[in-house]
Amino acid sequence: MKVMDDSAHQTSAAHKQATHEGHHAHGDHEVVHRGRGGVSWAMAAKATLHCLTGCAIGEILGMVIGTALGWGNVPTMVLAITLAFLFGYSFTLFAVRRAGLDFKTAIKVALAADTVSIAVMELVDNAIIALTPGAMDAHLSDGLFWSALLGGFGIAFLITTPVNKWMIGRGKGHAVVHAYH
């Protein structure tokens, strides 16, 4: 019969306590991990801002490329939306790859974490641009173009944040990423 050294047990218990306390340093993450579903607005806003950053980079780049190539509104918008999804996913993909996930798993996590958020954001943002009189025909040097685009991003942020809050509270969306922090 093997007798367990009491110091090993104390070390293990200390490690578990330190790990548990360190986990609390993640602030709002702990609520999602415990499965209570309570998510702060700050956490939802942070997830939305993360998504918005990637979307904005992709969308602006798409608009610049489409305009520089002399494309019409529809192909430029398709490029901008495609790049918004690409950059939005990329931000999460790089973060979870840094956390040690293999590429295939990282892609699955990025798709699960960001698809709804990016889709809502792009739908709202592009609807604002399309519904703003003259914005679709404005050039990159026009204030109307930038005010419609930035205003669209602002409204998209306000609409997408509650969506992300709801999804994270149910273990979906950006909650999927939290397992890899």
pLDDT tens string for the chain (181 positions)?
444 444 444 444 443 343 333 333 344 444 444 444 578 899 899 989 989 999 999 999 999 999 889 899 999 999 999 999 999 999 999 988 998 999 999 999 899 989 999 999 999 999 999 999 999 888 889 999 999 999 999 999 999 999 999 988 888 887 777 666 5
Nearest to 63 by CA among 148, 181, 5: 148
Name the DSSP class of 135. Answer: G
CB 145 within 8 A of CB 181: no
Q: What is the pLDDT of residue 45?
A: 93
Q: What is the pLDDT of residue 20?
A: 39
The structure's pTM equals 0.76
Q: What is the pLDDT of residue 36?
A: 47
Residues 125 and 13: their CA atoms lie apart, in Å, by 51
Q: What is the pLDDT of residue 25?
A: 39
The CA distances from residue 79 to 23, 39, 57, 75, 133, in Å, are 41, 34, 12, 6, 21
Q: What is the pLDDT of residue 48?
A: 92
Q: What is the pLDDT of residue 181?
A: 57
Q: What is the pLDDT of residue 37?
A: 52
Q: What is the pLDDT of residue 90?
A: 94
